Amino acid sequence: MKAGERADAAVRLAYLLRIHSYLDIAIVSMWTASPRVDIMLGMAEASLRGESPGGEDDGPLQKIRALVDEARGYQAAGDFSAAMGRMRVALDLLALHIIGLSGE
pLDDT band at 1 (very low <50, low <70, confident <90, very high): very low
pLDDT at residue 5 greater than cutoff 90: no
pLDDT tens digit sequence for 19-60:
999 999 999 999 999 999 999 999 999 999 999 988 889 999
Q: To 10 degrees, what angle do helices 80-102 and 58-76 make?
A: 160
- Domain annotation for the chain: domains and CATH numbers: 9-102 (1.20.120)
Alpha carbons 38 and 68: distance in angstroms, whole number: 12
**Residues with Cβ < 8 Å from 48, sequence gap 6 or more?**
19, 61, 64, 65, 68
Residues 6+ apart with CB under 8 A from 75: 30, 37, 38, 41, 83
In tens, the pLDDT along 59-98 reads 999 999 999 999 999 999 999 999 999 999 999 999 999 9
